[in-house]
Amino acid sequence: MEGCFTRLDLLEKSLHPLRMSHGICYLVGAGPGDPLLLTLKGRQCLERADVIVYDYLSNPVFLNFAKPGARLQFAGKKAGQHSLSQAEINALLIGETKSGKTVVRLKGGDPYLFGRGGEEASALAEAGCAFEVVPGVTSAIAAAAYAGIPVTHRDHNTVLTIFTGHEDPANSGASEKYAAIARTPGTKVMLMGLRQLEAITEKFQEAGMAPETPAALVRWASTGRQETVTGTLRDIASQGAAFQPPAVAVFGSVVALRPQLAWFEKLPLFGKRIAVTRSPEQAGDLISQLRALGADAFEMPTIRIEPAPDKREFYETVAYSHSYEWILFTSTNAVEAFFKVFYEIYQDARSLGAVRIAAVGPETAERIRSYRFQVDVQPEKYVATEILKALQKETSVENLKILLPRAEGAREILVQELTRLGAIVDDVSAYRTVPETVDVSGGIRRFREEGADLITFTSSSTAENFVALDLPRPPGLCHASIGPVTSKTMKNLGLSVDIEAREHHVAGLVAAIVKFYAKPADGSAENPKVRPANGALPDAEG
């Protein structure tokens, strides 16, 4: 994929040389909320942007795609609360583009569907600025789809009307508009009209729309926070009286298909709010797996991965890595740190020579293979000390020269045991974990304001730094651990261990969470908080 993007970059430079030198503004649709619904081109624009001007409805996780040093400017709008006026936003886009920068205007849904993208494009065009529009998945369709409602269906309708309910139905022009919409056949989808819903549904009925027409409201569509209520044209306003924006309203017979087609809300972790404390570099995989199961998973990094504290020592060690007989990797972080430096020094993978490689855990092994190296030894149990048994089955470790790149301050037991068996071990700090001080994704703020049902810990350092944040903990908050080493730290910190993964990797943690929240066959209640039985073997958890 990276190579594909490189070719696209070269193609764009050849097609748009003036844009590269004079700046360009991309009006990018962020989609309805699910991060996976951002387009590939939208992500590509975010990754190269010098300035990102983002809206309230664009998922904050997209800001993680920004390159270091990019300016991040919030320009969100809620009803009656505007951080910047539209004129100020236009001026900002024009000014930054004219200064030669690559600007992304990140807008929820699609920029041209009730998103004022057309106004911003006109302002850019009148100012002589280069711009492009990157369409996004609109909530007008996605909200219905995630609620189990197809907006068109051959057995129901072949017409779709999308409208904004922002206008007051009491105004004469608006009243006529709503009457015309009511008389139009097919499905009707309303954006931005929750406060006017009761008046609008009354106008629809006055214009002859059947009071028994099925209707639905969908809030925070396509995310684990999604809420849906259904009713009829007559009572949907009262049914959704407690609803707050952002919400989409759907009117039409297709709403009746929801009981059969509501796939998203049937996922096993739907509605569970889960905070993930892993570092930003690592959180993505765990969050993706949780979201795929319907969870409202959000990144709340408490640690950050930094390069080796003694950069010169690590570079020299990697430069002579071909002189070792074995390299032992106990975490994906160590793999990333090692090969990043290796390929800065060498151009050819064969420069590693005849070194053999051992890995703890399937994730670590998979990351090694991504660099096109084979894993010679991988213990069946995903714990660091098990590497000793696996090595001894393969060969005698006496007098073996072993390189062990890992985190600064890692536990000494592995080095001590290898040395006791006669191995010559170079234990080198490849990286270090430090407390995260920047809340780019807004996860810490969200946890403070909304709390969570569950918080996950994938290492001792994530637990330690979470406690150091001294955040208020909501009643009933559960804690999940990736393995016994992390669990021990959690207990020492006064945190309960409600879930512990039997297999000490991300997939094992997700499986344990699903099991914890699984309902009995009769569907009567969730399982009680029971920590799974587990041995006392330490895990790598690097």
Active-site residue numbers? 55, 77, 192
CA–CA distance, 142 with 33 (Å, rounded to integer):
9
Phi, psi (degrees; rounded to nearest 5) at 471: -85, 150
Tokens 């007008």 map to which residue?
140
Cβ 205 vs Cβ 197: under 8 Å: no
Tokens 């590939």 map to which residue?
40
Q: What is the 3-state secondary structure (H, E, C) of 224-236?
A: CCCEEEEEECCCH
Using only C-alpha atoms, what is the Rg of the chain? Answer: 27
Q: Count Cβ atoms below 10 Å from residue 40 Cβ, excluding itself.
A: 12
CA–CA distance, 182 with 205 (Å, rounded to integer):
8
Positions of E strands within 9-159 = 24-29, 51-54, 71-74, 77-78, 81-82, 102-107, 131-134
Q: Please give the torsion angle defined by the CA atoms of residues 383, 386, 388 and 391, in that order, rounded to the nearest 10 degrees.
A: -110
* Pairing mode, strands 214-219 and 227-232: antiparallel
Q: Which alpha helices (DSSP H) does 158-292 contain, by range? A: 172-183, 197-206, 236-239, 258-261, 280-292
CA–CA distance, 256 with 230 (Å, rounded to integer):
9
- Look up residue 394 and give its two tokens: 């393969």
